[in-house]
Structure 1
Amino acid sequence: MARRTRELGRFTDVALLVLISLAEGQKHGYRMINDIEAFSGTSLEPGTLYGALMRLEERGWIEAVESAERRKPYRITEGGREALREQLATLRRIEQAGAERVRIVWGTA
């Protein structure tokens, strides 16, 4: 059976993907787009990314970093790290509940 995970990419929360990308260090938009596609298989359009960057910056979860280059790098803030930890914990609980229910109902994992 072919995997359909690529089809689920459009349902992924872009803000979460950005926070995960920035968790390893500061990046500019183009580098984030490439990183996110590499680790998640989700291809983002620049408009989608920059909309998410704007919302994350408004929440104080990321901040722009001064740069002499034309590209504007961002980094995750302490508030962003906390939000990411909370979201990942929630996703782990969801994954565990899903795996358990699949095992119980379908007899597989």
Structure 2
Amino acid sequence: MATKHSIEPLPALVALRVASQEMFPRFIAGEYVLYEETDDAAPGDEVVLVMHDGSTKIRKLIERTDGRVRVAMYSPNSTATFNASGIAAIHPVVGCRRAPELASLGFVPENVSR
């Protein structure tokens, strides 16, 4: 007897240009982090924080509670706590690529600017 399986649609991948050295040596300014537009980030993941003011931050998620989000950056090695109300979304980073590599992944300039 055959079993039915459903396939969930894959989340959209977005590329975000790394603008600073705050996550060096993991991410280097000028590279692009690829992230999924899901809310499945867990402590220990590198994430993209999308703030309500439209800005973005690349950080490592340490802890997430109802009211606060604690994150780390590597350079300088430090932590910060944000009020969850200031964060629109937290997306897990799934990779990092240089600009020339993005074309082979199917990204065009509209996909990599934010």
TM-score by length of 1: 0.22
Q: Which has the higher contact order (CA 8 A, sep 6+)?
A: 2
Quick check: which one's helix share is greater? 1
- The normalised TM-score by structure 2 is 0.22
